[in-house]
Amino acid sequence: MSGSAIVAPATLSTQPRRTAARRLRICYLVPGHGLLSTAGPSRNVLSLSRALASYAEVAIAVRYRLEDRPTTEVEVIELEPERRPRAAIDDSATRDMSPLEFLRYLARLRRFVREAAARFDVFLEKSWILSGHLSAYGLRLGIPGVPVENVVPSAARHREAGLAKRVRVEAGRRLAGPALRRVPVVVAETEELKDAIVRVWGVSPERVAVVPLGVDRGLFRPIAQETARARLGIPADRFVMLYAGVLDETHTLDGPIEALMALRPRGIELHVLGDGSRRERYARMAAMTDGAVILHGRVPHELVPWWIAAADLCLAPYEPRAFATGDLGYATMKVPEYLSVGRAVAGSPSTRMRKLLRDGALGFLVDFSRESWLRFLAEPPSREQLAVMGRAALAHPQPSWDDTARGYLEACERALAAAERRM
């Protein structure tokens, strides 16, 4: 269904009233992304929407699809299908927008909120450059919305993109604060992110609900390493490191790749799954490692657990400057997925990573600088030690998407109750 199929604008007098006999109707509005099932943000939206569909009527609204094949069992609304790019390196839908184009798109989003009021009881608004704006706008119309935040942005993250980009990010961050302070409930994916939302945006702590993201336990499950390596053609004697995720400014693989360039250790390989703005840069560096770094590009999502299972050590290389407080606030879905397959993790030092890795029981905190990785790879942990850590990870199951869906439903009910009190 495209944006043109949305019903005519609704007034407050025609907004539907939910009854006990009807399931909640939720629109997951994703302003800053297209829909690309292999990209992390899209995968999270799809996974949550599928889980929510067990409890509510759910539709996803995105700017456009970035692949033609069906990607979800729930309805997908394309707001601007005519503006779909011919090619995309990720699911970002606002990259390189001119100010005029952004204002035009913002008007289209506000119109969608007005028009869709007759179809939905509540909105989820995924974080974007104007986080909370659409929820605050809808609240004025009596349409409850729940902002879903996964990061408090930092202009430093975009240092490679130039001054104009950094100014836009900083302006968006400043505008988001007043909007988020007006809505009755904001969903944060981690306790660390809640603290950042309270500190940076001034949102009252009691208005921030922490709902962890889930893991698809049917997909990310224990798989024997020898079975995975046989399927993928990886020799049994190799020490294999793996990174699976977007190649962008939020993550940095420079340190381990530069260490492999310098040390050229025999039998150690780094396999990289994913695409993004830094892929060409990493490809140039990989060409100088004598085959120790292999870039695979995007792989089908159902194959990712097999690659994780084939690895000895999985990487979570976050760039601290990407976060407003300098500390990782992300839910970092790759780490729970790594752990759910039963693999040890090397992650960037942070409060969040320390909790996930249980103070070193399930992996290592390693600064992703060249010097740190030179030291780490000069005397790497044994494969036997890493296997023990991986088995320990399986003793601490991660939340499921069903757990997450129930948390989001509670947040939606809070927003509805608050909207009803205003009327």
What torsion, rounded to 10 degrees, do the Cα atoms 185, 188, 192, 197 define?
-50
Q: Is residue 28 assigned to a domain?
A: yes
Residues 296 and 417 in one domain: no
> Does 290 lie in the same domain as 173?
no
Closest C-alpha among 285, 303, 287, 321 to residue 242: 303
Residue 238 CA from chain centroid, whole number:
31
- 230 shares its domain with 114: no
pLDDT of amino acid 376: 96
Both 324 and 374 in one domain: the answer is yes
Does residue 414 lie within any of the structural domains? yes
Q: Total domain count for the chain? A: 2
Please tell me the predicted confidence (pLDDT) of residue 95.
84
pTM equals: 0.85
Residues 98 and 238 in one domain: no
Q: Are residues 236 and 124 in the same domain?
A: no
**Assigned domain for 17 exists:** yes
pLDDT value at residue 1 = 37
For residue 219, being part of any structural domain is answered with no
pLDDT score for 159: 55
Within this chain, do residues 71 and 182 fall inside the same structural domain, yes or no?
yes
Residue 281: phi and psi, rounded to 5, are -60, -45
Q: What crossing angle do the helices spanning 163-182 and 191-201 adopt, rounded to 10°?
A: 90
Residue 128 lies in a domain: yes
CATH at residue 252: 3.40.50.2000
Cα separation, 155 vs 349, in Å, equals 21
DSSP 215: B
- Give backbone dihedrals phi and psi of 204, rounded to 5 degrees, phi first: -60, 135
Same domain, 333 and 406: no
Tell me what pLDDT residue 67 has.
Answer: 85
Q: What is the 3-state secondary structure (H, E, C) of 301-362?
A: HHHHHHHHHHCCEEEECECHHHECCCCCCCCCCHHHHHHHHCCEEEECCCHHHHHHCCCCCC
Shared-domain flag, residues 283 and 411: no
Asked whether residue 190 is domain-assigned, the answer is: yes
Question: Domain range spanning residue 110?
Answer: 3-214+401-422
Domain-embedded: residue 220? no
| Cα–Cα distance for residue pair 355/389, rounded to 1 Å | 15
Q: Is residue 179 part of a domain?
A: yes
- Same structural domain for residues 291 and 163? no
Residues 190 and 230 in one domain: no
**Residues composing the chain:** 423
**Phi/psi-derived region of residue 397, left when phi > 0, alpha when psi is between -120 and 50, beta in every other case:** beta
**What φ, ψ does residue 10 adopt, rounded to 5°?**
-100, 155
Residue 406 and residue 371 share a domain: no
Q: Are 47 and 216 in contact (CB under 8 A)?
A: yes
Write down the pLDDT at residue 89. 81
Give dist(CA 116, CA 338) in Å, integer: 38
Distance of CA 411 to the CA centre of its chain: 19
Provide the 10 A C-beta neighbour count for residue 13. Answer: 6
Per-residue pLDDT of the chain (423 residues; tens, 9 = 90+): 334 333 333 333 334 445 555 799 999 999 999 999 888 889 999 999 999 999 999 999 999 999 876 566 799 999 999 999 988 888 999 988 888 999 999 999 999 999 988 899 999 999 998 999 999 999 988 889 999 998 887 645 545 555 566 667 677 778 898 999 999 999 999 999 999 999 999 999 999 999 999 999 999 999 999 999 999 999 999 999 999 998 988 899 999 999 999 999 999 999 999 998 899 999 999 999 999 999 999 999 899 999 999 999 999 998 877 776 777 777 789 999 999 999 999 999 988 899 999 999 999 999 989 999 999 999 999 999 999 999 999 999 999 999 999 999 999 999 999 888 776
pLDDT in tens, 37-46: 888 889 999 9
| Whole-angstrom Cα Rg for the chain | 22
Residue 289 to residue 312: CA distance in whole angstroms: 19
